[in-house]
């Protein structure tokens, strides 16, 4: 993957993780380019198969393309940033990201989006935003 492709993915996402929506400027580790469909599942390096991802989301997602929906216990695919609209699958309740569909719930679960340290960071960012006005 060349630098032009990496920059294109970064620009398209506007510096925001395409899964948890955290801005790269608020993270201590550089964001990564995620293969939405991993190469082991025949994914490629084309930009429509690439997403900007924070370290935490990318590390938890790994090559996964599905997981178990915590509500239905059914095997369910993970959110696909090129095919799905984020707003159709997720909503915020304070610092917690809720999956509003089976795909959303499964993605939140597999990617560990509501782990304690992630909620603490989002709580801090909300508090800072409130104090800055």
pLDDT digits (tens, 9 = 90+) for 50-68: 999 999 999 999 999 999 9
Reported confidence tier of residue 133, pLDDT bands at 50, 70, 90: very low
Rg for the chain (alpha carbons), in Å?
15
The predicted structure's pLDDT at residue 41: 96
Does pLDDT of 9 surpass 50?
yes
pLDDT digits (tens, 9 = 90+) for 18-36: 999 999 988 889 999 999 9
Residue 6 to residues 12, 32, 64, 88, Cα–Cα distance (Å): 10, 9, 21, 27
């Amino acid at each position: 993957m060349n630098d032009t492709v990496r920059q294109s993915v970064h620009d398209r996402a506007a510096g925001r993780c395409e899964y948890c929506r955290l801005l790269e400027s608020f993270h201590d580790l550089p964001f990564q380019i995620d293969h939405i469909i991993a190469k082991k599942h025949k994914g490629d390096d084309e930009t429509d198969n690439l997403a900007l991802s924070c370290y935490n989301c990318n590390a938890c997602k790994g090559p996964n393309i599905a997981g178990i929906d915590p509500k239905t216990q059914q095997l369910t695919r993970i959110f696909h940033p090129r095919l799905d609209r984020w707003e159709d699958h997720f909503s915020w309740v304070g610092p917690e990201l809720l999956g509003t569909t089976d795909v959303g719930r499964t993605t939140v679960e597999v990617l560990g989006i509501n782990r304690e340290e992630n909620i603490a960071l989002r709580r801090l960012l909300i508090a800072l935003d409130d104090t800055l006005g």
